[in-house]
Structure 1
């Protein structure tokens, strides 16, 4: 294997940087070296081949991390420590890492912010996607990133760079990692205008290309994994609307990433969730990284259109048949809102039964549904559609507090038995049992 030797003007060996270009911490060191006008020997460590676990590398760095710097017999790892060392040894001045104690403390604080929050979330997310097969960011990860973005935006409120009006190694660390995170979870320019401006200023640095090269490599590596993410659905399992979506996904045989939203703890009002859905309702679907839609009826139609393949029976493309399905979906919207008002009265309003006026409204809609089922085997057409998923989730819930009279509504009763016989009906039953228990407890209390 060829040995490349790089010499400075004093014929001393240039520092060796053990690295991979896609690494954010490595890129922060490359930015520092470029700002200093310092040439480094680049020694690529192939993590996929576990070269960082070889005996020789472990002798250098028992923590087996990159970047690792070897300079005239001195070995240092952790990008923040490396950057501080390079400025102290090779800097023509101390502007990148001031000797003034107050200014230095500010730089150190921002670098610990990077290692403890920004890079910590980046490593957590990247490992989950690349090595553990995660298909979407978790609510905790999104909340953590938003938390980090909020702080960084505040740091940049009154200054051009993260510690003031001069760029420092703290900027280099954060530039490398935030630009990486921006690929996975884009910075919202409307909320984080200071970060957006800072990123543009960073791109104007004369040596920014050393970050862009590795960033493009990271994007090429991660984008295929990110674009293959399964649809992510934010749910509350007891919700009839959520259950209709679960029935749809099971019928289609598609995998989804479920993220539970605790309505009782008002998790639907978290900034990270409101950013996705200002109406703060469940279910909410996130697909293809940045596409978000809510309302179960719309979600279910979208899922069939995208993942149903050539079989469009659950939501026909024929415009007349689709119109019939849509009509029943809107009928369900009306019925589910009525059910929701009754449940809120029992679960949170101290009521012991549904008001007679609302019972009458439900019975009227039972009459309509009975007539629909007299016309077709299923609620919209002669075969099952997403309208059946929506209505079985709603009607089975209403049946808890306004029991269905099977003798008066035999066609509804027969239809419910057909739906209950589905091999994936547990997608409705599990949440239904939970809400039944909650209502029973409220009525007994």
Structure 2
């Protein structure tokens, strides 16, 4: 009766056993268990192992789980006397020490770091730091030995090698551990290339990507905004358009919320919109627009990967930031500060809007034949300009384009994030002028 190994291809402990099987050319029947579909929880598997974990070994009427116990059992049964787990009492005790250390310290810490994401939680940075401390202990130990347990490759190297490479794959930086990295290169040289890649490199890469996707799905990006801010609204329009999960937090700039320590600690420039994505903070609406598409909707036609298309969109975004929006702000800020309107700024805005109108003679949208980020930000500013009294009614192409953008957005998005806030600003401007 053949020995059976129930495993999962991404499971680190299961891969440890499969490496030993390859190294010693053992006759073991490998049966994959799909953890993501819950095969380990089905009665057929629970009847084999009530603890429903992989790896699980079945040798006739004997069932064994826990990878390190399986490692030593397989060598003793199928390759007795192998240097991977020698018969010498002291050598064996040294290997056992490292196996227990891996189980109870190194791998246990790694599991505490990334395990929570499989249950709706997040990575735990403090635990990653604890792992680094333990790995540093290993690095010190490796100053005196070629391998973990001495001068020859053993099952301790296989088990801990999988743990260390897995840690790197899920984002724990161990590049500064000189001895550990020297030892890993030695381990790579000792294993057949096919084994190293198929049971270490490739599964680690897949697991790393899986963990990253889990982290992204649980991490909530935060957007600090003002409901009347044009730049804030262009970002909020994008969020609606691509249907991504972003937690929106309103900042009352008129009450000075943007100047309070709670906000200036996030953004010393105290402006909205401000995006917080984990430990990354970003302000400037157009930078936020491009970042959100690249991160959450890569390849979207709103900001395509094509170099020339992207450069064209960027051109219009910079033109908006440095020309159109700047003139609009000059016009509005003068009034909000209690001064009279500046007709020259409004007239210059009209001139620039006329340039846009001329450009739109040959294209359906600002940057070509499809809706892009350039349309979102510029349309918000054009509608705001009209709302606060800058007459653009003679711009036929601009008017046609605005109707097209309106039809591309949901009526609710257009109304609540474009028209209504612009009208609120108009009311504020009117009150300021009247007072």
Q: Do the two structures share a fold, i.e. TM-score over 0.5?
A: yes
Q: Residues 168-219 of structure 1, C-alpha deviation per residue, up to 9 Å, x if partnerless?
A: 6565334324535655x46657667666545433313346854533346647
The aligned residue for residue 68 of structure 1 is 56
Are residues 51 and 318 of structure 1, via their aligned partners in 2, closer, same or farther at CA, if it must alter by over 3 Å? closer
The runs of 5 or more residues in structure 1 that have no matched partner are 5-14, 133-137, 285-293, 343-353, 437-445
Q: CA deviation at 1:366?
A: 6.3
Kept in 2: contact 1:21–1:217 (CA 8 A): no
The aligned residue for residue 148 of structure 2 is 166
Cα RMSD between the aligned structures? 6.3
Q: CA deviation at 1:24?
A: 1.7
Secondary structure, in 3 states, of the residue corresponding to 1:295?
helix
Counterpart selection for 1:307 from 280, 296, 300: 300
Kept in 2: contact 1:379–1:388 (CA 8 A): no
Counterpart selection for 1:141 from 123, 134, 145: 123
Deviates more, 1:91-100 or 1:62-71: 91-100
* Distance in 2 separating the partners of 1:336 and 1:228: 41
Q: CA deviation at 1:26?
A: 0.9
Higher Cα Rg: structure 1 or 2? 2
Kept in 2: contact 1:19–1:44 (CA 8 A): yes
Secondary structure, in 3 states, of the residue corresponding to 1:158?
helix
The runs of 5 or more residues in structure 2 that have no matched partner are 251-261, 269-276, 367-371, 425-435
Secondary structure, in 3 states, of the residue corresponding to 2:158?
helix
The question of 1:409 aligning with 2:390 is answered yes
Structure possessing the higher relative contact order (Cα contacts under 8 Å, 6 or more residues apart) = 1
The question of 1:386 aligning with 2:378 is answered no
The aligned residue for residue 281 of structure 1 is 282
Kept in 1: contact 2:7–2:31 (CA 8 A): yes
Counterpart selection for 2:88 from 80, 83, 93: 93
* Distance in 2 separating the partners of 1:69 and 1:305: 43
TM-score by length of 1: 0.54
Secondary structure, in 3 states, of the residue corresponding to 1:60?
coil
The question of 1:108 aligning with 2:73 is answered no
Kept in 1: contact 2:224–2:248 (CA 8 A): no
Are residues 320 and 33 of structure 1, via their aligned partners in 2, closer, same or farther at CA, if it must alter by over 3 Å? closer
Are residues 41 and 214 of structure 1, via their aligned partners in 2, closer, same or farther at CA, if it must alter by over 3 Å? same
* Distance in 2 separating the partners of 1:220 and 1:172: 18
Kept in 2: contact 1:68–1:77 (CA 8 A): yes
Are residues 318 and 147 of structure 1, via their aligned partners in 2, closer, same or farther at CA, if it must alter by over 3 Å? closer
Kept in 1: contact 2:57–2:70 (CA 8 A): yes
Q: Residues 123-164 of structure 1, C-alpha deviation per residue, up to 9 Å, x if partnerless?
A: 666x68xxx9xxxxx9x3384785466345533442439999
Secondary structure, in 3 states, of the residue corresponding to 1:155?
helix
Are residues 218 and 234 of structure 1, via their aligned partners in 2, closer, same or farther at CA, if it must alter by over 3 Å? same
Kindly tell me the number of residue pairs found equivalent between the two proteins. Answer: 368
TM-score by length of 2: 0.55
* Distance in 1 separating the partners of 2:184 and 2:328: 46
Paired residues for 1:261-410 under 5 Å: 280-281=281-282, 295-296=287-288, 298-299=290-291, 306-308=299-301, 317=309, 323-331=315-323, 356=337, 368-376=348-356, 383=365, 386-390=373-377, 406=387, 408-410=389-391
